[in-house]
Amino acid sequence: MNKRYDLSGALLNWYDYNKRLLPWREDKDPYRIWISEIMLQQTRVEAVKPYFDRFMKELPTVKDLAEVEDDRLMKLWEGLGYYNRARNLKAAAQTVMEKYHGELPADYDKLLSLKGIGMYTAGAIGSIAFDLQVPAVDGNVLRVLARVWGDDSDILKDKTKKEMGKKIQEFIPKDRPGDFNQALIELGATVCVPNGEPYCDRCPWDTVCTANKENLIEKLPVKAPKKARKIEYKTVFLLETKDQIAIHKRTSKGLLAGLWEFPNMSGRMDMQDVMEQMKIWGIENGEISPAGKGKHIFSHIEWHMEGIRIALKEPVFIEKLLWVSKKELKTVYALPSAFEIFRNIL
């Protein structure tokens, strides 16, 4: 990259004219920036906005977050996925209350030591909220930098993230580190886009970009292929009466820990298996019908689900299952997106 060209200046100038107006950019409140950055991991800006507004209304301070009941927190997070992000937020908020009097520390290493805050997030909060000259290298930034520098390192490797962070650090201006980092993220999200052709004609760095000059846009960034996801088949039961439905709380460890789900069994079940299961549950008169299929993709696993509806006249007591009204299922219990297609047909 050509140092004579004022890279930072050109980028910041572009950002000033083109930045999106987003709720977490209205001020430099560290708490708001923290929550937004956690939500924005793995989730698109447009999807995050309504969640962010609702979260801030319900839990406006670190103290509120530290004291929130788990079920309420899960309900606020319902639909965003990666629920550990929310659990870590609460744990970190408790640490901030205990160690830092409810104020996020203006220190990169202290931020990094909080649960759920990694190098990227510590860099984002540090630079945006506290004007620290530290890099914040996410997937957007890695794509931009790999193209600008013509760097074919595997961007999924931590080593690449570290090296690119170090290299970009010297370009971070003292007076606007947070804007610089957000400008890089913004450039990746809106111009140097991940899918399809980037809009190089709108890029402030088009004349210094190696990939643009050497026709390497399609080749960069390099991402080594990931292992194929494991496929799990499941049979999901909609055990229902006219107004009620049976749900089950997942264990406190592992995937979707502590969230609610429709009772389900691993593997595909035929009619005989279903009748067998009904016997185990002590159900004598249930009307069985198919309830559609669903697929849900997690980072390492795919669930391929088949729904079975069992309509009952009255609820039957079944160990570990809870009968709730269908209305409450929408308003009170956090049900992961994986089961949403079944909830929608109730």
Which residues are the active-site residues?
A: 37
Are the C-beta atoms of 322 and 218 separated by less than 8 Å? no
- Residue with smaller CB distance to ligand ADE, 47 or 265: 47
Using CB positions, name the residue nearest to ligand ADE.
40
Token pair recorded at residue 199: 């809009």
Binding mask 223-262 for ligand ADE (x = CB under 6 A): ----------------------------------------
Segment near ligand ADE (CB under 6 A), from 108-116, 181-189, 302-310, 313-321? 181-189
Based on the shown chain and the rule CB under 6 A, indicate whether residue 40 belongs to the binding site for ligand ADE: yes
Q: How far, in Å, CA of 141 to CA of 34, rounded?
A: 18
Q: Is 193 in the site for ligand ADE (CB under 6 A)?
A: no
CB of 180 to ligand ADE, least distance (A): 12
Q: From CA 31, how far away is CA 125, in angstroms rounded? A: 9
> Are residues 220 and 211 in contact, defined by beta-carbon separation less than 8 angstroms?
yes
Q: State the nearest-atom distance from the C-beta of 269 to ligand ADE, in Å.
A: 42
Residue with Cβ nearer ligand ADE (37 or 261)? 37
Q: By rule CB under 6 A, what count of residues binds ligand ADE?
A: 9
Q: Minimum CB separation from ligand ADE for residue 159, in Å?
A: 22
Q: What mask of x and - would describe binding to ligand ADE in positions 123 to 162, judged by CB under 6 A?
A: -x-------------x------------------------
What's the closest the beta carbon of residue 20 comes to ligand ADE, in angstroms? Answer: 7
Residues facing 306 on adjacent strands: 235, 293
Measuring CA to CA, how many Å separate 196 from each of 188, 200, 215? 12, 12, 15
Burial class (CB in 10 A: 0-12, 13-18, 19+), 201: exposed
Q: Which of 230, 234, 220, 190 is nearest to 336 (CA)?
A: 234
Pairing of β 230-240 and β 301-311: parallel
Half-sphere exposure of residue 78: CA atoms within 13 angstroms, side-chain side:
20
Taking the least distance from each CB to ligand ADE, the nearer of 22 and 222 is 22
Is the Cβ of residue 181 or residue 264 nearer to ligand ADE in the bound state? 181
> In the window 9-28, what residues touch ligand ADE (CB under 6 A)?
22
**Stretch of 5-13, 37-45, 159-167, 321-329 contacting ligand ADE, by CB under 6 A:** 37-45
CB 170, min distance to ligand ADE, A: 22
If one asks whether residue 182 binds ligand ADE (CB under 6 A), the answer comes out as yes
Task: Please pick, from the candidates 185, 308, 310, 338, the single residue that binds ligand ADE as defined by CB under 6 A.
Answer: 185
Q: Calculate the CA 254 to chain-centre distance.
A: 17
Rounded Cα distance between 162 and 129, Å, is 22
Strands (E), the chain: 230-240, 244-249, 260-261, 264-266, 287-297, 301-311, 321-325
User: Which is nearer to ligand ADE, 130 or 237 (by Cβ)?
Assistant: 130
Task: Tell me the C-alpha distance between 152 and 26, whole Å.
Answer: 36
Shortest Cβ 233–ligand ADE spacing (Å): 35
Which positions lie near ligand ADE, rule CB under 6 A? 22, 37, 40, 45, 124, 138, 182, 185, 189
